Amino acid sequence: MKSSLNLFFIFLISLISAQNKEFTYEYQFVSDSTNRKNPSTEIMILNVGTEKSYYYSLDKYVSDSTINQEMKKGLFAMPRPFNINEIISKDLKSKEISFETKVGDANYHVEQNVNLKWNLLNEFDEILNHKVQKATTEFGGRIWNAWFAKDIPIQDGPYKFSGLPGLILKIEDKTLSHTFVLKGIKNTQSPFEYPYRKDETRETKLSHEAYIKTYLQNRTDPTAHLVGKIPDQRDSQGNFQTGEQIIREIRQKLLEKISKDNNIIEIDILKNAAKPKKK
């Protein structure tokens, strides 16, 4: 009897451990629609637990973890470079989606209602030795093709995609501007919690509608948060510049960068902003 109980608890522990998994995706994306020959690539991680999942850039995770560790030692560390700032979390029971992001110098927590309507197709393939089935949906102003594996019974996937009867192993939009492909799977020992940076200001909660407004305002004037914060000064060569001149130069560079970021994943945000407003 005692032996049977021990076997039961071993099985229970192994079952719980197996429910915490880490999926590695390669995310390839075209930021500038006028320069499709030079896509960017970022390694993304999806950590799935029993109640919640987290999706984030591996480079950002390493950067944030390193900064936190250095702070514990009383040291200062510069952030490492990364492309994707968002940290997306999904409540696996309520299906609620939220994300943490940065706009200008402010951090935001945003809750978003994502209601995906999937169309399952009678098309099959194989990815990483898993049989996958094709499904399509519309989201963010794009048509998406996804391939999911029923033998991985996790109704989740990269970015904000979920709701299929199996893990999404690959998903791409019709224009092939944004593609996510699974590259690896491993079990983790305990539920995952993202190591949010201890030195960053506390995030402000915003509705998704308010976030879009803030995001678009920042694209129009990315230096609004710097006004009055940069003093007059001389550069290394002794040339004098007012704070306003410095901000104008920063603004010009940021606007050039933003103009090349015209093919964002949820493209409907930019398309709707460009539509003439009804009188």
DSSP-derived secondary structure letter, 242: -
Given pLDDT bands bounded at 50, 70 and 90, which one contains residue 239? confident
Quick one: pLDDT band at residue 190, thresholds 50, 70, 90?
confident
At 117-152, the pLDDT tens digits run 999 999 999 999 999 999 999 999 999 999 999 999
- Separation of alpha carbons 246 and 252, rounded Å: 10
Higher pLDDT, 149 or 242: 149
Q: Looking at the DSSP assignment, which residues form a beta bridge with residue 21?
A: 48, 187
Given this model, what pLDDT does residue 209 score?
Answer: 96
* Inter-residue contact 113 to 162 (CB < 8 Å): no
Three-class SS of residue 173? strand
Per-residue pLDDT, 15: 42
Buried b (16+ CB within 10 A) or exposed e, 82-116: bebebbbbbebeeeebebbbebbeebbbbebebeb
Higher pLDDT, 41 or 105: 41
Neighbour-count burial for 147-171, b at 16+ CB within 10 Å, e otherwise: bbbeebebbbbbbbbbbbebbbbbb
Which of 2-11, 15-24, 30-39, 60-69 comes out lowest in average pLDDT?
2-11
Q: What confidence tier does 189 reach under pLDDT thresholds 50, 70, 90? A: confident
d(CA 24, CA 43): 7
pLDDT band at 278 (very low <50, low <70, confident <90, very high): low
Task: Assess whether pLDDT exceeds 70 at residue 214.
Answer: yes
Distance from C-alpha of 242 to C-alpha of 223, rounded to nearest angstrom? 15
Q: Once rounded to an integer, what is the mean pLDDT over residues 252-261?
A: 96
pLDDT tens by residue, 55-113 = 999 999 999 998 888 888 878 777 878 899 999 999 998 999 999 999 988 999 999 99
pLDDT of 49 higher than 90: yes
Of residues 25, 28, 23, the one with CA closest to residue 173: 28
pLDDT of residue 16: 39
Give the model's pLDDT for residue 78: 79
Token pair of 84, please?
Answer: 């994707």
| Res. 10 pLDDT band, cuts 50 70 90 | very low
Average pLDDT on 13-29 reads: 75
Categorize the per-residue pLDDT at 228 as very low, low, confident or very high, splitting at 50, 70 and 90: confident
Topology at the third CATH level for domain 2-187: outer membrane lipoprotein receptor (LolB), chain A (2.50.20)
Q: Domain coordinates of the chain in residue numbers?
A: 2-187, 206-274
- The beta strand positions in 188-253, using DSSP E, are 204-207, 233-234, 240-241
Above 70 in pLDDT, residue 164? yes
pLDDT surpassing 80 at residue 275: no
Is pLDDT above 50 for 9?
no
CA 41 to chain centre: 13
**184 has pLDDT over 60:** yes
Cα–Cα distances (Å) from 133 to 117, 150, 227, 231, in that order, read: 16, 8, 52, 59
Residue 279 — very low, low, confident or very high, per pLDDT cuts 50/70/90? Answer: low
Q: What is the pLDDT, as a whole number, of residue 277?
A: 63
Inform me whether the pLDDT recorded for 14 exceeds 90: no
